[in-house]
Amino acid sequence: MTDPLHELIDLLAETPKQVKSLVTGQQESANAATIGAVLADALAEERRVRAHVIKMVHENTPYLRQRDAGVTPEEAAQSLEALAEVFGRERGETLTLLMNLSMRDWEREGIHEQHGEQSVEDLIERLVEHDRAMLDRLNQLRKA
């Protein structure tokens, strides 16, 4: 695996710790519902990207729909700390998948319904960007 790919994996691996730190003690804050919505969105994106990577590895140039990856109402209703834990477990599954990909798998492509032709690496770069935006939003909500 090349250094840029290692860097992507390292960035993804750090996010759950940062999320947990940012949501700890926020359950009773005025922004708790918004923080929960941000976490639910992150959880859905995590599942969506992982499903796309799996599809790309197993199919030739699949069409990737921007569908809801399924955050159940029960999951969304959990405490912020519990949602952060679920996110951490899901991220762990994604990291395991990514660490077991070959170089060829990272180059595999699909056609994303919003972004057009995308490689696995492109999807993971977008997930890192999504993480950054989520962490920025959680920081703003924590300070508000």
Boundaries of every domain in the chain: 3-67+76-143
Taking 70 as the threshold, does the pLDDT of residue 1 lie above it? no
Digit-coded pLDDT (tens) for 28-69: 999 999 999 999 999 999 999 999 999 999 999 999 988 766
Instruction: Write out pLDDT tens, residues 58-112.
Output: 999 999 988 766 788 888 889 999 999 999 999 999 999 999 999 999 999 999 9
Q: Which fold has domain 3-67+76-143?
A: Four Helix Bundle (Hemerythrin (Met), subunit A) (1.20.120)
What's the chain's Rg over C-alpha atoms? Answer: 16
Amino acid 35: pLDDT? 97
For residues 128 and 45, the answer to whether their CB atoms sit within 8 Å is no
Whether the CB-CB separation of 47 and 91 falls below 8 Å is answered with no
Q: Does residue 48 contact residue 66 with C-beta atoms inside 8 Å?
A: yes
25: left (phi over 0), alpha (psi -120 to 50) or beta: left
